Structure 1
């Protein structure tokens, strides 16, 4: 089997687990928008944006560093695993303790007076996430995709179970007199609290299983191993911070930069809930990006010693663009029924028009991930700092300047602007220091065409429901026909059993 097909196969396994697991999680949007208020959704959006941001600080690029030093530095992989995991456990305890102590200040600063417990739970969630990062990475490195997928799905199912129990089950039992208010300390006035508590319980329960399957570590902190790893990882910390700044900061800051009464009948926090809920609809593209990343990162490092690896990287990029462009069109043209299906209460549909922009933003994130391989395999991670710093600055500037005047659109533009700038910079420097023969003209053409077709299908409306569905989705078929006409050689080579790519 060719290297290309191996990557496709691994991506399919990770993708199946990600899509299945995240789809289950995605369905929670129905529960949240049905049973929780828009204000609670706003709290959920901002607190989880903070968690996403701090998660980068807690793991500081050590997953990628683990792959690099386990595959290409002539070091014993067990020693690398022991040292990396020991370091993350140690720093997680330090950072988690600091956040735990700062919880009262954070509660006041983010306008959650008297709710410091929310941020203490956040500290525990972050600690659990970070000490699971390297064991999960080890499973990926060892090609244990099924175990990895199983653990992720178990974690998500536990999370969903606790969410349904606390948000739907207990209120139903109280309303029917089966249990009383205060049973096991239950409070009907809690909302985002139960989302956080469910996450905390699910993550805590999965730790023994993941550690067992990945292999328990022996506590080791060796300077000869960790010093060069830290030098490699440190720029990746800023790369991750800048990336998550773009992805999450718009949701974190939205309610704070939106002028009062910008949207009639909605407070700034409620508008933030609408923005965050529509952001969630772009998760379908993010699923593909995440599945691809799970499979591609260890794959790229393992292939880096092959003299033909640049050609392989270019073909992977091209196939990625083709697939994700098609997916973007398919989601966008069907938002007219996908949106109301998941966003149950009135008012959420006002933000649907930003979803194609967010889909393109996530697609560009995937393109950037492909492009960034050059500085990871050449140990030039310092460039990631400057590239992502520029991206973060652009993201913040767009949020601050556009959200007050454009609302939801301004938040969405920050996403696409940041990733576009990062892609351009990474491509320019990559071609200078590690040339890869990308099909740049074709890839850019496909992206522009797909984005145009996405908005054409989104705004196109025909009164007859069946005809409306057929015409909208015909745009996907048109794009696929164009791909087939232009990419026959690539398609036939992928389908061939004998041709090595």
Structure 2
């Protein structure tokens, strides 16, 4: 149980930066949806979907590869592994920037940015820098320095948020009151371009803040090690690309699946804004992932039943916290929906679907332990490709008929299939012995609690509804704690005199 407590502590610290950062970025959504129409916000959503895919390609599994080989018995010096991976990422990121700049026109058209080549140039440089700095952040996780990791993330987020507020709120006001003050750098017609500019500046800031992690060791490149890392990480690259395409492909396909391309971009904006409400689940999963990878590779050195029990405990508590988050968001959706403009409310019906889809993805990530510690990463590739087939098939089938809600169902179907397939294959190659009946109990009972909450809210006033749902949420938590044999006294810190 000590390992789970350590995992929980690291998840909480990593989650601090993730949750606060995502929350602050989440708070920008009402600003974006109030200041920009859905078609312009759709361009932002579309570009960032492409950026998410590019970031996976540019890191090509090196983060997980670094954890694996830094803990490998054959390589005694983790800094040699770190240096080799850093040089690899630096070269590939530079080549990426050169290639995009060489074809900036076609790339801008493909991303629906039109003549705004500057949008794409800014995001190209930003994503290249983010890919390079992904490894220093991974090194902080490896070195078990979650506080520095979290503080750097928070500073970066503060810069991004501050610049967004400055360019989108303060500058337009100054333009009306005292245009002479800002005329030398501000263009009111630049619009959503300031979102991308803020991102670029914060990415540059990342590099500056991570300078201490880029010196103090001898830079060296080990070709043999690099080839081994690529061989290990190549399936993870395919896994990552397929995984991120499972998350973003619906968004990228949506304009092409609508009869009217412009209507499709507007749908992307509505879907993307409502996806932000489900971001609470994404935040939890991201925080868990930051802590879980170092945890599983460290545990892989242990032997016996304790190691397997740690994996079981991690899965069980992940599902518990995931369902509590699901119920919390759905029970208080009448408040949370006001984080987007009322003109986007038509998309609220995708929120529960996306929340469950993200939970399934989190379970799939938990299950991935079996192929990561046994060096069967090729299975991660096949499972993600399976999910990609489901994503494409369901989007093509559902989006033309049901619009963006079909995209949400496609995400649920994709992650559900990946989760089930990984569990079935994992039982054969590396049986861990998860308590599936108990996991199903927590999941199904959570859905029942949600349905009861929805029935309560059919006729009542929103505030009355939330007041009645709160005891339901407390009852679910109490039920889970009783089943787990955990008392409230044991989890509430006591004051010692």
Q: Quote the residue 1:328 is aligned against.
A: 326
Structure 1 Cα separation of the partners of residues 238 and 199 of structure 2:
26
Q: Can you list the C-alpha shifts for 1:365-423, whole angstroms capped at 9, x where unaligned?
A: 11111100111111110111111000011111111111111112201111111111111
Displacement, 1:56?
0.5
Q: Is the 8 A contact 1:336 1:458 kept in 2?
A: no
Displacement, 1:439?
1.0
Instruction: Name the SS for the 1:189 alignment partner.
Output: helix
Q: Any residues of structure 2 matched to 1:136-151 within 5 Å, and which?
A: 136-151=137-152
Q: Normalised by the size of structure 2, how large is the TM-score? A: 0.94
Displacement, 1:458?
4.4
Q: Quote the residue 1:35 is aligned against.
A: 35
Structure 1 Cα separation of the partners of residues 217 and 46 of structure 2:
35
Structure 2 Cα separation of the partners of residues 211 and 85 of structure 1:
13
Q: Is the 8 A contact 2:245 2:388 kept in 1?
A: yes
Is 224-233 or 458-467 further displaced after alignment? 458-467
Q: Quote the residue 2:405 is aligned against.
A: 409
Displacement, 1:166?
1.1
Q: Is the 8 A contact 1:85 1:217 kept in 2?
A: no
Q: Normalised by the size of structure 1, how large is the TM-score? A: 0.93
Q: Quote the residue 2:12 is aligned against.
A: 12
From 468, 471, 476, give the equivalent of 2:473: 476
Q: Is the 8 A contact 1:138 1:214 kept in 2?
A: no
Q: Is the 8 A contact 2:334 2:462 kept in 1?
A: no
Is 249-258 or 63-72 further displaced after alignment? 249-258
Q: Quote the residue 2:114 is aligned against.
A: 113
Q: Quote the residue 1:165 is aligned against.
A: 166
Q: Can you list the C-alpha shifts for 1:81-117, whole angstroms capped at 9, x where unaligned?
A: 1101011101111122112222211122333322222
Q: Can you list the C-alpha shifts for 1:200-251, whole angstroms capped at 9, x where unaligned?
A: 0111022121131464564432222111111000000011111111111222
Q: Quote the residue 2:307 is aligned against.
A: 309
Structure 1 Cα separation of the partners of residues 103 and 439 of structure 2:
47
Displacement, 1:274?
0.8
Displacement, 1:72?
2.5
Q: Can you list the C-alpha shifts for 1:320-374, whole angstroms capped at 9, x where unaligned?
A: 101111110110111122102x012x32111111101111111111111110011
From 451, 455, 460, give the equivalent of 1:463: 460
Q: Can you list the C-alpha shifts for 1:263-306, whole angstroms capped at 9, x where unaligned?
A: xxx83222211110001111111111111111111011001121
Q: Quote the residue 2:200 is aligned against.
A: 200
Structure 2 Cα separation of the partners of residues 496 and 178 of structure 1:
55
Q: Can you list the C-alpha shifts for 1:14-53, whole angstroms capped at 9, x where unaligned?
A: 1122111221111111211121221211011100000001
Structure 2: 5+ residue stretches without partners: none
Q: Is the 8 A contact 2:97 2:125 kept in 1?
A: yes
Change beyond 3 A, Cα 1:278–1:455: farther
Change beyond 3 A, Cα 1:496–1:151: closer
Q: Any residues of structure 2 matched to 1:191-270 within 5 Å, and which?
A: 191-213=191-213, 215=215, 218-260=218-260, 267-270=263-266
Displacement, 1:494?
7.7
Structure 2 Cα separation of the partners of residues 467 and 113 of structure 1:
48
Structure 1 Cα separation of the partners of residues 423 and 44 of structure 2:
36
Change beyond 3 A, Cα 1:53–1:141: same
Change beyond 3 A, Cα 1:458–1:160: farther
Q: Any residues of structure 2 matched to 1:271-350 within 5 Å, and which?
A: 271-307=267-303, 308-340=306-338, 342-344=339-341, 346-350=342-346
Change beyond 3 A, Cα 1:215–1:11: farther
Change beyond 3 A, Cα 1:119–1:456: farther
Equivalenced residue count is: 490
RMSD: 2.2
Structure 1 Cα separation of the partners of residues 174 and 138 of structure 2:
41
Displacement, 1:126?
1.3
